[in-house]
A and B are shown apart, each in its own frame.
Chain A
Amino acid sequence: MASNTIRPRAWVDGGVTTIKMIINHPMETGIRKDKATGKKIPAHYIETVQVKHNDKVVLDALLGPAVSKNPFIQCKFKGAVKGDALKISWADSKGESDTKEVKIG
């Protein structure tokens, strides 16, 4: 796991940059039961997602298990220009993480 889990898109329009991302992640709540074994599936969910532009944090998201599987997040910020790099990273409840850079198109 933790390889190429982030699928981002970012573009600038009228000075405002929009970022959309989908992160491949099961987001298990810890409540769900495995139908075959009847055992609870252990919780496994993303806790934090961070978006950085030039080392400045533009979004610091705290997620809980109630965020849907393969989380989708969209946000907007000002001050970036086309070609700038954004760094997106996440960390989950099992200590796994991933980081990806995306250029603003």
Chain B
Amino acid sequence: MKRRTLLKGTLTAGVASVAAAAGLLVPQMVLAAWPKAAFTAKGVDNAVKSLMGDSSLADSSAIKIKAPAIAENGAVVNIAVATSLKSVSSISILVDKNASPLTSSFNLSSVTEPFIKTRVKVAKTSSVIAVVKSGGKLYKASREVKVTIGGCGG
């Protein structure tokens, strides 16, 4: 009887550790494909931390954001980000007051110029933040966009 209990005990422990290992593996695999946690995170800090693993951002005047000062239609706001920083590996665009601030993140190759232009939705008047990863460090710049009609339904 004792032996059986022991066997049972080890078996359950074995199964648990396998499950734990699988549990650890799965989120990483998902992350590699599409970082859902970063795209659903609330708050700029959480989103950046979830995406980059670090939320210490240094302000940089070398990042230029081109965005309208007043956007009549928040559903379509033109945003262009360019920077003179060297060896840029990614550019991310966040909108502070959106339910989930992270809108998009662009991973650049070594031959890609540090320039991105796209269109995003802005729920209400908010600052648009560009996060640039350059030489392994994170830099940011922001710009206020006033919105007359929100871009997230409602």
Contacts and interface: CB of A to CB of B under 8 A. Distances in A.
B43 to A, nearest CB: 14
Interface residues of B, number: 34
A71 interface: yes
Interface string B93-112: 00100111011111111011
B34 A62 contact: yes
A72 B104 contact: no
Interface in A42-101: 47-48, 56-69, 71-79
Interface of A: 16, 29, 31-33, 47-48, 56-69, 71-79
Interface string B111-130: 11101111111000000000
Query: Chain A contact residues: over half helix, strand or loop, or mixed?
Result: strand
A57 to B, nearest CB: 6
Contacts, number: 108
A66 B106 contact: no
Interface in B61-88: 75-77, 80
B109 A77 contact: yes
Contacts of A60: 106-109
